[in-house]
Amino acid sequence: MGKPLVAVFSGAGMSTDSGIPDYRGPQGLWRRDPDAEKLVTYEYYMADPEIRRRSWLMRAEVWAAAPQPNAAHLAVAELERGGTPVRVITQNVDGLHQLAGMPARKVFELHGTARSVVCTGCGARSETSEVLARVAAGEPDPPCSACGGVLKTATVMFGQRLDPEVLGRAMAVAKGSQVFIAVGTSLQVQPAASLAGMAAEAGARLIIVNAEETPYDALADEVVREPIGTALPALLTRIAAEGA
Ligand code: ZN
């Protein structure tokens, strides 16, 4: 018997041990503070230089904290290194799965990444660190060096649709997986949440690791409520042993 394809679907809860708060979820900071939500809403961001200035300062603050992968990220990367086929689908934009050692081609970032910047005019991409260096040097809303257009992180803001290619590949992973583990996500934001149902329908063993109830708990083969930082490494060790 071959090793099962394990899909790990991670949400904000995966990164809270790394010091990154839940911004985007239904109970997230951005949803509870309409003013903060504007910083990551495409329409406001594009229309207002003051929103962009504050948005870059917010990114700079997260960047300065230099968040590191936690035990859960490391356990996922270790499972992959051990020879189990693993794919990560994530709602997080922090890049911590890759920093933990997951190959980038095996990570599907549904909400994009805060580690790159894209020009809304010409599409040119650059490193977030370069743009934040310009902000620190006195350009509060740095324009694209190539075309003068508005720069934004390569994240999917509110009011923007998910990249259909990334979503399509994530759906293929969900349907092709034998084990689908949803970690630290409330499974309430569509279309991402529907991936769990898709996987279960296609016959995957569905495991949910989350502090709170999710709409997919009844469908799950296993629901784990313990803290992610200890529960996920233990679970993945068990799965690696089963598939050996
Ligand atoms: Zn440009």
Residue 36 has what pLDDT? 85
Q: What ranges in 87-141 are assigned the alpha helix state H?
A: 96-99, 128-136
Residues in the 5 Å CB sphere of ion ligand 1: 119, 121-122, 124, 144, 146-147, 149
CA distance 194 to 214: 12
For the whole model, what pTM was predicted? 0.94
* Rounded mean pLDDT for each run of 10 residues along the chain, 244 residues in total: 88 94 71 83 96 94 93 98 97 97 98 97 97 97 97 95 96 98 93 93 97 95 97 96 77
The secondary element (H helix, E strand) that includes residue 172 is helix 164-176
User: What is the residue extent of each domain of the chain?
Assistant: 1-20+69-111+162-244, 23-66+114-155
CA distance 204 to 214: 18
Q: How many residues does the chain have?
A: 244
Distance 149 CA to ligand 1 centre (A): 5
**Tokens coding 83:** 């020879």
Please list, residue by residue across 166-202, b when 16 or more beta carbons sit within 10 angstroms of its beta carbon and e when fewer do: bbeebbebbbebbbbbbbbbbbebeebbebbbbbbee
Q: Quick one: 23-66+114-155 is in which CATH superfamily?
A: SIR2/SIRT2 'Small Domain' (3.30.1600.10)
Q: Are the CB atoms for 102 and 109 separated by under 8 Å?
A: no
Distance 63 CA to ligand 1 centre (A): 23
Residue 164 has what pLDDT? 96
CA distance 123 to 107: 22
Distance 132 CA to ligand 1 centre (A): 16
Distance 162 CA to ligand 1 centre (A): 21
Residue 3 has what pLDDT? 81
Question: Out of 38, 52, 111, 115, which one is annotated catalytic?
Answer: 111
What is the CATH topology of the domain spanning 1-20+69-111+162-244? Answer: Rossmann fold (3.40.50)
Do domains 1-20+69-111+162-244 and 23-66+114-155 share one topology? The answer is no
CA distance 221 to 216: 10
- Count other Cβ atoms within 10 Å, centred on residue 57: 13
- Count other Cβ atoms within 10 Å, centred on residue 154: 18
Half-sphere exposure of 183 (CA within 13 A, CB side): 31
Distance 141 CA to ligand 1 centre (A): 14
The closest alpha carbon to 120, from 22, 43, 196, belongs to 43
Distance 120 CA to ligand 1 centre (A): 7
Residue 151 has what pLDDT? 98
Residue 26 has what pLDDT? 64
Active site residue 111: yes
Distance 96 CA to ligand 1 centre (A): 27
Distance 147 CA to ligand 1 centre (A): 4
Q: Give 145-170 as a DSSP string.
A: TTT-PBEEEEE--BTSPPPHHHHHHH
Report which DSSP code applies to 224: E
Residue 244 has what pLDDT? 57
Identity of the residue numbered 203: G
